[in-house]
Amino acid sequence: MVKRLILLIKDCLAELNSYTNEMIVYPAKNEKHVITVFMDITCHYCHLLHTKIKEYNDLGITIRYLAFPRGGMNTKQQNKWKLFGHQQTK
């Protein structure tokens, strides 16, 4: 049972990592850990986390964002996400 669970987790992480080209990444210089955040840019708690990015990076934590708009992928929130991603890559 535990072995099956471990295999399932490994499969899920491999699939998650296949989306790296769609992520907005804030890399840590001395990376010790990587966190993937499913973010909705209209979410208050997501904004709070984002204000701490530098602190996390300084601790060696890389933050990777994936769009996860509460209203769905074809909504105004998704269009805002595209703008957010564009601004971060400048």
Q: Where are the domains of the chain?
A: 22-88
Say which residue, 30 or 77, is predicted with more confidence: 30
Q: Under CATH, domain 22-88 is a member of which superfamily?
A: Glutaredoxin (3.40.30.10)
Q: What is the mean pLDDT of residues 66-80?
A: 67
Mark whether 4 is an active-site residue: no
From 11, 12, 58, 70, the catalytic residue: 70
pLDDT tens string 45-61: 988 999 999 999 999 99
Q: Is 72 left (phi over 0), alpha (psi -120 to 50) or beta?
A: left
From 11, 12, 40, 58, the catalytic residue: 40
From 11, 12, 43, 58, the catalytic residue: 43
Mark whether 70 is an active-site residue: yes
Look up the pTM and report it.
0.70
Read off the tokens for 32: 């010790």
From 4, 46, 58, 64, the catalytic residue: 46
